[in-house]
Amino acid sequence: MNWTEYKLIDSGGYEKLEQFGGYVIARPEPQAIWNKSLSCEEWENRADAYFVKDKKSEERGEWKRKPAMKDRWFVNYSNGDLHIRMRLGLTAFKHLGIFPEQAENWDYIFDKVCHIGGSPKVLNLFAYTGGASLAAACGGADVTHVDAVKPVITWARENMEASGLDGVRWVVEDVLKFVRREVKRGNKYSGIILDPPAYGRGPDGEKWVLEENINELLTLCSQLLASENSFFVLNLYSMGFSALLARTAVRQLIGNCNKEEYGELAFTDSFGKSLPFGVFYRMQR
């Protein structure tokens, strides 16, 4: 990955210490089961913001910030002709609006869109703040960006404008509802990007559970993906899913491909400890 504005400094004790642009952030990381390499005092001295969990909630919390720490700032990602600028912010759910490990998928998406050429239709589901949408748009794709959370769509639009891009179609809707309707319409896409959470809610309270809904969604996506000159990207964060499982689920439904890649997305901290951030499966045909 070609990050110049992100670095995993240290990890351990179920936490990670990261640098995003000009700021250092400390926050929980359940997979960092080993010991920290730096002392707790060094973490506190380095961190501009430290996430503290709410004792009454497994997901929510608050940030302890140094006076100079801003609520919002931007980072840039570039690789060749791919250029993305994204706004970061301290949220109550410990997220910042970006998953740096996804840069590897951004590179893949940009390359595949450029290889297809023209203005291929690309569908990004559970699209969050739009890193993958921007990578596809930067390559010239006609992008449909779907997420159930309206403020996240607003955030993604801000990232598009900051990146000097336009033309993304924004859809605030439950993903399954949208994809079912697209299948009925007979629409086809040259690229589909799928980054589902373990759990989620649609705008009208629709329930998403990865284990219960992923097979239906993959089945529908197999009907939307163009049979030739197309690509598919699946990313999974659930700790119970392996890359091999993702490959098997996709290949059963989508069928043969010309080339496939699968594995773990990870960063290695400054002390040589490799921290996994999820699994991926990518294919082209």
| DSSP 8-state assignment for residue 168 | P
Res 239 pLDDT > 70: no
How high does pLDDT run on average in the chain?
94
| Three-class SS of 80-108 | CCEEEEEEEECCCCCCCCCCHHHHHHHHH
- Per domain, the residue ranges of the chain are 6-70, 73-284
Average pLDDT of the residues in 85-110: 96
| DSSP 8-state assignment for residue 231 | E
Res 95 pLDDT > 90: yes
Neighbouring C-beta atoms of residue 184, cutoff 10 Å: 9
Check residue 75 and give its pLDDT. 98
Check residue 206 and give its pLDDT. 82
C-alpha distances in Å from residue 44, one per residue of 47, 53, 88, 144, 269:
5, 16, 21, 42, 17
90 in Cβ contact with 47 (< 8 Å): no
Check residue 271 and give its pLDDT. 98
As a CATH number, domain 6-70 is 2.60.40.1180
Check residue 207 and give its pLDDT. 83
163 in Cβ contact with 138 (< 8 Å): yes
For residue 238, name the pLDDT band (cuts at 50, 70, 90). Answer: low
| pLDDT tens figures, 167-221 | 899 999 999 999 999 999 999 999 999 999 877 888 888 887 888 899 999 999 9
Res 3 pLDDT > 90: yes
Check residue 98 and give its pLDDT. 97
73-284 domain in CATH 3.40.47.10?
no
